[in-house]
């Protein structure tokens, strides 16, 4: 099944306790599209860049088979830029600067060839833009939406407007606490589902993820890694692995959603092993499946 990816397309500067990286590829749509390209085709991207967006990035996305018909290039403007610094434990980060640039005036136009896409992954962007996208597509099977603290802080009302149109809402633990105003994750989940999120996933960084679907809860571990180099994009690749597995299998049962959560965790674990999107450059579906299977042994036990 096809998948439509909407989100930021960025140039990032990243600082971790282990080093810095300048002018590297980033943006939620890029992480999502690249990760999804290992599962299903076509992967259709909607986003915007300025005239400064490097050709090697376009070549990379083309090589991964990502359909860029929906990538708008505004020659006279600058690409979205984000710079962040991670703390020693890598679970927390500070945004050092964020320049929306070309995103400030972006009005997403969904190409006709994208409009019937069945699976939609709305990466972390302005919730107003997420809504604009959903107004233009025709009866998708599943809409997965992500967000981040920046939008909860600055566009909460807009986020609350678009939330009921998400079939699955993904956010991390601190964002869930922020949005619900509740420190307890189970209570936070209840409150966020009452805001309209039918199925909810709360990511807990290196502590795994919780899936809330109908009356069920599934708790997934994260893949234990000794060397985490750069956590940027972990959330996006999680959302991507989750959505792309569902798109590949076209099965929305709770059992399959559990597998999708593990595929999300699998993709996130590859992402954080290297800087920027480098951890997603040389994967194969076989390699992904091998790690997916390792998850089984991680948490299986006998009564």
Under the rule (CB under 6 A), what is the footprint of ligand AMP?
Answer: 8, 10, 12, 26-28, 82, 98, 124-125, 148, 150, 232-236
**CB of 22 or CB of 293, closer to ligand AMP:** 22
Report the C-alpha gap between 262 and 241 in whole angstroms: 8
- State the nearest-atom distance from the C-beta of 291 to ligand AMP, in Å: 19
Q: CA torsion, points 270, 274, 279, 282, in degrees to nearest 10?
A: -120
**CB of 67 or CB of 236, closer to ligand AMP:** 236
DSSP secondary structure of 80-92: EEEEEEE-TTSS-
CB nearest ligand AMP: which residue? 26
Helix axes 234-249, 28-36, angle to 10 degrees: 40
280 class by beta-carbon count within 10 Å (0-12 exposed, 13-18 middle, 19+ buried) = buried
- State the nearest-atom distance from the C-beta of 148 to ligand AMP, in Å: 6
**CB of 2 or CB of 8, closer to ligand AMP:** 8
- State the nearest-atom distance from the C-beta of 25 to ligand AMP, in Å: 8
**CB of 27 or CB of 208, closer to ligand AMP:** 27
- State the nearest-atom distance from the C-beta of 215 to ligand AMP, in Å: 29
Report the C-alpha gap between 186 and 189 in whole angstroms: 5
Q: How many angstroms from the chain centroid is the CA of residue 139?
A: 21
Task: Point out which residues pair with 156 in neighbouring strands.
Answer: none
- State the nearest-atom distance from the C-beta of 303 to ligand AMP, in Å: 37
- State the nearest-atom distance from the C-beta of 272 to ligand AMP, in Å: 9
Instruction: Please tell me whether residue 2 adopts helix, strand or coil conformation.
Output: coil
**CB of 9 or CB of 197, closer to ligand AMP:** 9
**CB of 148 or CB of 288, closer to ligand AMP:** 148
| Six-digit token string for 237 | 């690749």
Q: Which of 1, 261, 239 is nearest to 119 (CA)?
A: 1
């Amino acid at each position: 099944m096809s998948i439509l990816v909407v989100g930021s397309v960025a140039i990032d500067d990243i600082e971790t306790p282990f080093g810095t990286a300048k002018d590297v590829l980033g943006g939620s749509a890029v992480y999502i599209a690249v990760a999804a390209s290992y599962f299903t085709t076509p992967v259709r991207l909607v986003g915007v860049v300025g005239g400064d967006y490097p050709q090697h990035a376009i070549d990379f996305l083309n090589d991964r088979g990502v359909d860029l018909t929906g990538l708008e290039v505004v020659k006279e403007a600058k690409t979205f830029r984000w710079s962040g610094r991670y703390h020693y434990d890598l679970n927390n980060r500070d945004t050092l600067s964020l320049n929306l640039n070309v995103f400030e005036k972006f009005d997403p136009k969904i190409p006709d060839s994208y409009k019937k896409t069945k699976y939609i992954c709305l990466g972390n962007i302005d919730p107003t833009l997420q809504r604009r996208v959903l107004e233009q597509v025709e009866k998708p099977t599943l809409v997965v939406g992500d967000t981040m603290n920046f939008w909860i802080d600055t566009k909460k009302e807009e986020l609350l407007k678009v939330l009921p149109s998400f079939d699955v809402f993904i956010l991390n633990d601190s964002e869930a606490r922020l949005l619900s105003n509740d420190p307890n994750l189970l209570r936070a989940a209840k409150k966020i589902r009452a805001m309209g999120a039918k199925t909810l996933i709360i990511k807990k960084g290196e502590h795994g993820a919780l899936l809330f679907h109908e009356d069920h809860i599934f708790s997934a571990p994260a893949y234990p890694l000794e060397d985490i180099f750069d956590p940027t994009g972990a959330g996006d690749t999680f959302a991507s692995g989750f959505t792309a597995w569902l798109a590949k299998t076209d099965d929305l049962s709770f059992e399959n959603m559990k597998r999708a959560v593990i595929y999300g965790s699998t993709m996130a674990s590859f992402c954080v092993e290297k800087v920027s999107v480098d951890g997603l450059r040389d994967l194969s579906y076989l390699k992904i499946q091998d790690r997916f299977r390792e998850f089984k042994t991680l948490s299986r036990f006998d009564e």
